[in-house]
Amino acid sequence: IRNSLKFVSYKDRKEIAKDLKSVYQADTEDLAIQNLEYFNEKWGKRYPHIYDLWKRNWDELATFFKYPKELRKLIYTTNPIESLNSIIKIKTEFKGSFPSKEAAFKVLFTSTQEENGKTVGLETGRKFILNL
């Protein structure tokens, strides 16, 4: 998306990003191709390089649709992963060492169960990552 929007007028960015979102968030690869063709009809004359970029790299992008929808969301947005890494870093940053592997795993596990020092349910993204 960032690469596609690099040379797009600022006033068109939101709408183009929304139309591209319909491509990578499509339920199936066929629907994604249809959405990409619609994108080309709508924006192809003004921004042909975007369609060409996506079409040229479609084989790599299509791999994305082989994964379940929940996992695809984690691929195109790294926020849940970054959130989990941040929590783990906070919990382990000032520990010099752990007496055993089990102690380290216990700290990592309990840190995923807490948010701001309070035990809460895991958000969907983190829960999915931990169940992989």
pTM above 0.75, yes or no: no
Give the per-residue pLDDT at 62: 87
Closest CA to 61 of 86, 95, 25: 25
- 106: its two tokens: 């216990």
Question: For helices 101-113 and 79-92, what crossing angle results, to 10°?
Answer: 130
**109 in the same domain as 60:** no
Last residue of a domain, one of 66, 100, 116: 66
Looking at the structure, tell me whether residues 54 and 110 fall in a common domain. Answer: no
Structure confidence by residue, pLDDT tens digits, 39-70: 999 999 999 999 999 999 999 888 888 888 87
Q: Let me know whether 32 and 88 are in one domain.
A: no
Q: How confident is the model at residue 74 (pLDDT cuts 50, 70, 90)?
A: confident
β-bridge mates for residue 74, sequence order? none
With CA atoms as reference, report the closest residue to 75 among 86, 85, 87, 65: 65
Mean of pLDDT values over 4-19: 92
Tell me which range, 2-6, 10-14, 62-66, is most confidently predicted by mean pLDDT: 10-14
Residue range of the domain that includes 39 = 2-66
In a domain, 105, yes or no: yes
- Has residue 7 been placed in a domain? yes
In this structure, the answer to whether residues 9 and 46 fall within a common structural domain is: yes
60 and 88 share one domain: no
Q: How does the average pLDDT of the chain come out, rounded?
A: 82
Other Cβ atoms within 10 Å of 26 Cβ, number:
19
> In this predicted model, what pLDDT tens digit does every residue of 87-118 receive, in sequence order?
888 878 877 788 888 888 888 888 777 655 55
Instruction: Report the number of distinct structural domains present in the chain.
Output: 2
